[in-house]
Amino acid sequence: MRYVVLDTETTGLSHENGDRIIEIGCVEVLNHVATGRVFHKYINPQRQIHAEAIRVHGITNEFLADKPVFAEIAQEFVEFIEGAVLVIHNAAFDIGFLNSELGRLNYPAIPEEQVIDTLALARRRHPMAQHSLDALCRRYGIDNSKRTKHGALLDAELLADVYIELIGGRQPVLTLVASTETTHEIRVTQTVTLTLRPRPLPRRLTEEERLAHESFIAELGQDAIWLSYLDPAAEQPELAS
């Protein structure tokens, strides 16, 4: 399964009122393991950033003055997320901004069914707890000490770890599958398949011990269950009458 963990930073809280995206951070994950591929861009919003927003993420108008506008990075972004499920915390916020930016350029909107909202997952799993990214990092013991301010790429990296915990952690699921042949398989879900083939152990009894054991079994009678464990290739003991 391929998914992309995504976060954005913006000039303000309302794309309906003209606020724009100023940073996008994406982390690619395959089978719940980060691949090392990331998409990270700062974007010139072509408008002023609200002072309240600067206090949250620390990104200034001066810093963004020489950065590309969204139109210059849009195609690369669309190609990076193509075919992937998007994992986002408070997805309605980010998707609203992204679809607003994509719509200006006549790109298709990101559909709701392509998105997993970790805020909704956290509320269902921990209904009486706090659900911010920082609170979830504390709950799951994830080191967020570098998060002195919001940042799209760092937050996406932290959210990738949080999401794993929200869906049950990294422990592999072991399933024993009996084969119709004489082999058995132990399958580790999405990890590896091991095939174990039974092989006889070397005989450790001396000949004297084997004969004494068979003599004892012969005294138990024809219905003794131990008879079924004797080596059929060996000479059978004469049963006591």
Instruction: Count CB atoms within 10 A of the CB of residue 162.
Output: 25
E strand or H helix at 188: strand 184-188
The residue annotated as part of the active site, out of 40, 150, 184, 213, is 150
Q: What token pair was written down for 7?
A: 């976060």
Selection from 61, 64, 16 nearest residue 41 by Cα: 64
The verdict on whether 126 is a catalytic residue reads no
Catalytic residue numbers? 150
